[in-house]
Structure 1
């Protein structure tokens, strides 16, 4: 793969580094340069983080290409972003061929007290081992000054590699002040170093007075520990609670003061605020970066400066216009183009490249067997949504592995120890060897385990694979106090994807408080929005006569909980009503077959969700998949939970649905509970009310979000 400029960096950075990468890539591509982006994962970020939205937005843009795994990129210029990504050597070699390399330094080597932020010598040694000769490019004068203060330092460029941005992305039509009272604001991460050190400094920079309003986004518990009691004129928001442009449109003045130990390498957030038309008020040490584009004063002078400008709208307007003109000239896209042109010249002439399919990245899913098919169904729901650039492979302990073939997904069956009557501990050794073989053969970039029990043999097989992303897809609603020894395996994974629970408020399990690695997604369902059959087609395929009330019985595999009494009671009760058609769903992994009276239709298909539109209501267990598929399909349901102690708390799911007006519930412990619920369900108005409540839910499918996240990981080299 050949490009003019190759950008290497961690595309998950939530702040200025990633947005600087995105702005530069876009500017160069619009100027005619071919730009490649090679995502790498460093140890700077506490995991997990999704891809930065600014870099996500570049997907599909002309002349910008994401370098897939297995490809050795070639470039005339390679830009490496953020030195701390290279503190350690990679798990696998990063092969890049380029004429010139620059290390873009977004963070100074020492803090304001001279304490080292990172070992630049070790990083420089690693970089030269990986890439050969290169030069370090500070993003601003403060970083340059920090290098100048070292007794010896790396080879530093003569010019700063300043951030660039297109001011049109942030420009707002400001016709005057917002309310009569001036609004002061600031956004940033809740890192204590990024904000004033003590209460006095905090209240000086962000005044506690009735004639000034203050909005702070990114303010968290760390800042509350400093301020203690928030002033009444403050409004505080979590980090990224609002889009930055929207936030900037709500303030008149952007006031940026930070802790004494922090060196702000550049101040991209300040640049964006100026581009929005807000007036920036900064401490004097920023003058070398922004010059006349800002107003300068000590923290204790902020209130007087704000009120003086607010009394003189003409002066405010002049400062806003002057600042915008300065940043357009000094920090606009043309700046990025000019410095690249100085190094490598104009964009290379476009050359026809022979069409060649890029090698696909690979995501390998392993699912436990489960009593039902929930783990396998969720894994396939995500796998079938991966983009063409990421090829899924499913390895499962479930005998229903054949369902993968409908989606063209390669699948392999591994027997669970109970399936082959093997001792559990002996099976762990078998599992280690099998997983070593499977991982060695497929060489995936991402491994995803869907199950509540990370087997010791699995953890052992994963432990030595440093270049592999490891994800645990784990549902919530565990029984209180159960699974602590399973949860202790969480550090073996880089991230936990938690499929959303409509009944999450009822969750009492241990996973509720184990969130350090968790990425929450909406409820996961197998089908896409348009994949279910319409009512007429579904009823025709099932042989249901028009005018009948069609009822679906979904009582699971019953491999660990006998619900035959519920089935028999439901069939007996429904037989009392005229023109009722009964369909009994049979799980593919059920041990044996279900005995039902003549006239009850057997449904042994996957996925059952394709046929839900055929039915007027259902009587179902409250397993994760069935529960969410039925509710989001708007199918009125009486949920009868499987209450085996090994199961998650299905009874709470069922109770939540009833309390929320989404469904009804009945429990096996109350044998007289089912009949009145069936009687109520035979009323079309009752069913319509439940269906309307279900239709009001957010239809987002967590399988889409999980697939996006896994696809992003597959493109990031560790």
Structure 2
């Protein structure tokens, strides 16, 4: 167990025995990332507020394959004093043992300490088999193990009717409870004040009193990105989550199973990875929660459904959920979903009535009181005074959330626009809560920094003519603004889209910022510069080659900051750790080649010539692009590196051969990597030649307009000998990372 978990579990000597005598002992694999751990944490909270003391025993079961820590929600319960995490072999005394997930007990009962108890409840929160027919547990075997381990006859508590049917006949009939052990929820913590909700369905009134057309329905789902949690055929997927743009479809938890079935993520979908947004805020942004899953999967209960109901969002579900949720939800076959959603979306009164039924059912049938009542039926009254009740939201601290900020990146040739915005956004936290809206197919990297994102295909990727796409862009951005409610919007790109002016007219009170790098090719893009009047502030990231800037931005008004890089020098791994992280030889001479696609054995191209030159110098090669061709040659001395941000590992390399886009240019120079720069000849606006020539003219690097082996070998040889001395002079003129200055200016704009 990780040391931090041990610290949570370590009682002092004088209270150890007291901590191991509890009302309720919850036994499970506390590493579960999803509903099982959430349900345990919810029950622990209800028990504490009622006065029941709780102990937790974690078993490393077969369903969590990797070593990981206790689920954060359960950790917070322990840290709040609601439960004690019990480690070691000392005996535990409990009035009732509650086992969650029978498979854990079947495969890991040998990890239990001695337990003395009068009652054992096995909560069957899933059926014995998964969608592939693999049996995770045998109910009869689990029953025998529980009897042997705890010394008393267990009772079985199915979480819902489908699981009840799945285990019926496989456990003694007398051991089955009459009532399902339904999941519970703290309704007060999940409710969202009306002023924090987006406008609900119905006709909207314009400022002049006329009626505006109703906006399209916003439907969504929240679940783990598992095949069993998604429909398995394209027809069902398109029926319940349309891909024709008629609805806004939002997904929290990833959509890889749907992508595999459909072959793509539909352009009308907004997909957030698991953990990048609080479920409460996500659900509050929906009009309808639509949840359909693999038909071969026995969905025992559906905790995310209950969360939607507690948030006041009408749920549309397959009919088999009706015995569980009754009139709290709406039920339809896949082909009926569109009619159900659109009918209620057009009827505000019916919509409001269904939302009220959902909330009422969540409170009356699935509230904390329901759990306390079932415990009282088993063991009677609690042994201790109630813990003082606090009502934070399920995944937020009790303090008010930080105001939001929206960052929009265009779709450039590389990742420069997205990376610059990340550099600003990460330095805006925690004063602001960043949200991303990106046209870059690299948008998912945002999730690795714990930030929510939304991907919108560019006009070319979406196959739309420009006029239609600009309207589409404006609609999607406006919807995002209504959901996120940002203090400001930052756009990074060299070509502001016409849709921006459309959005500004709809939301005139929100400031817009243009993050606009310089060094445009001389005379180019002058008409775009006029669009600065659309923005309240222009931030220009500095350029170490700015003395060579002859473009139209050189004298344009802007708030200029230092050159922007995602990382600072202190963020980089040292040479040993960097090579270990990339799986590289700790002692070999290594070069990074970052020139785009190319055949490594075609010496007529830049990539092939660079690799050949490095081979002549006995330097191993690392390339950054997966598109390199490998036919016709050995790859033993060529390594593929794909990490982001790769700059974290720059100390692994003895030198680099790189294009001179904004990001790579400044990262390599700022982080002291001896470099041969080869400007990209196909850029429409970015003056990479000016950057490369200026840096070489300062003696910091070497430069070639095109690579040949004959020209590259002597230059690379010199970089190996004295490249570190050359590049270290960059520090004399580097004003420091401008990302912090830009973030401070944005925070000032937001008033925080």
Q: TM-score, normalised by structure 2?
A: 0.45
Q: Larger RCO: Structure 1 or Structure 2 (Cα < 8 Å, ≥ 6 residues apart)? A: 1
The normalised TM-score by structure 1 is 0.47
